[in-house]
Structure 1
């Protein structure tokens, strides 16, 4: 007896597969079994290398239906997705997507139908990879922007460490001049004067940069 297996993948702790399963059922699928991977990046991990995803190759039989939200859940890139879909089809497994309700069935013997099907698989896999790369690039840009914002908030990194700062304070307390302290510590005279005039600001800068 054939079965319908729903495969879900969520990459962060904040996501959960229940929403994906609800979407599939709302689209009219009757799910017999759910297989899900948590905390797994689809960009870096092949389906056959995921702790639960690799089970699909064991539990699915000819005539079974594999339901996924979208083809990108079946691999990490164009080649991986297309290879996985073709592998399942060779085994007689039917693949269906929740989005757009696409069906990929390897049963057809008509070469024209097979050509159209394979072209569609290739197009969808390429689109999935392009979307994944765009998402990754957006995330990278967001991280860099956050770093820039953090750096602007903390201000310019001090040119001295806490030991050097303390040496300047101690020498100033002994009445030593800015030029002499500059020569002894390697700091510019202007930096020594800034520490002398606003020691609380210098101390705050060290704290912001965890120095």
Structure 2
């Protein structure tokens, strides 16, 4: 029985090393670390990713798969739910670092199965909804930035990076308290609230200052 860490990063999210460090800080040790870099969780299904396919080939009954959260498996509802179902049916235990969730396919109790499957569905839907909200905010922010006169409307340089914004949104989507988000990202609580309450303004600031 082996323990696997699966990590995935797109061009704007956390690094593979950060995900590994989070997992190790939570007490996990790994026999295998599988990572897809620069791969979209929205448009590229798990089985179509180079390392995702390898993970499917390697996992066996009794193994444990650890992910930072289900959005590392993907940000498409259908893909995430089908992926986790396939792993559970194979006898793999799936665990998340954030919120310490554990999904085990061994139970035969119908009520436990129903609760487990409903929770997986909710988390997968949240991952897709977050991706859609982020894309919409980015489109709106970029549109505003294109119409701004650079010298007049650039304003103060933002105190946050795109990676920090992605981390803030990721943690908030999981109902993490503002104080904890502030601690993890190193941003002030006021800045975290600004990112939370004004997604379009956040994206506009990032877009305007991208090449400054």
- TM-score for the superposition, normalised by structure 2: 0.68
Give 1:4-153 correspondences, 5 Å limit: 4-12=3-11, 15-149=14-148, 152-153=149-150
SS of the residue corresponding to residue 50 of structure 2 reads coil
Taking a change above 3 Å as real, the CA distance of residues 94 and 14 of structure 1, as seen in their structure-2 partners, is closer
Return the offset for 1:14.
7.8
2:47–2:53 Cα contact (<8 Å) kept: yes
Residue by residue over 1:69-100, the C-alpha shift from the partner in whole angstroms, topping out at 9 and shown as x without a partner, is: 11111123111111110011000011000100
Q: TM-score, normalised by structure 1?
A: 0.68
Partners of 1:104 and 1:14 in 2: CA distance: 25
Q: Which has the higher contact order (CA 8 A, sep 6+)?
A: 2
Shift of 1:30: 1.3
Q: Distance in 2 between matches of 1:34 and 1:123?
A: 27
Runs (4+) of structure 1 exceeding 4 A deviation are none
Aligned counterparts of 1:14 and 1:27: Cα–Cα separation in 2: 20
Distance of 1:107 and 1:16 partners within structure 2: 33
* 1:14 to 1:137, Cα distance in 2 relative to 1, 3 A: closer
User: What is the aligned residue count?
Assistant: 152
| Gap runs ≥5 in structure 1 | 155-211
Unaligned runs of 5+ in 2: 152-212
Q: Does the CA contact (< 8 Å) of 2:75 and 2:127 recur in 1? A: no
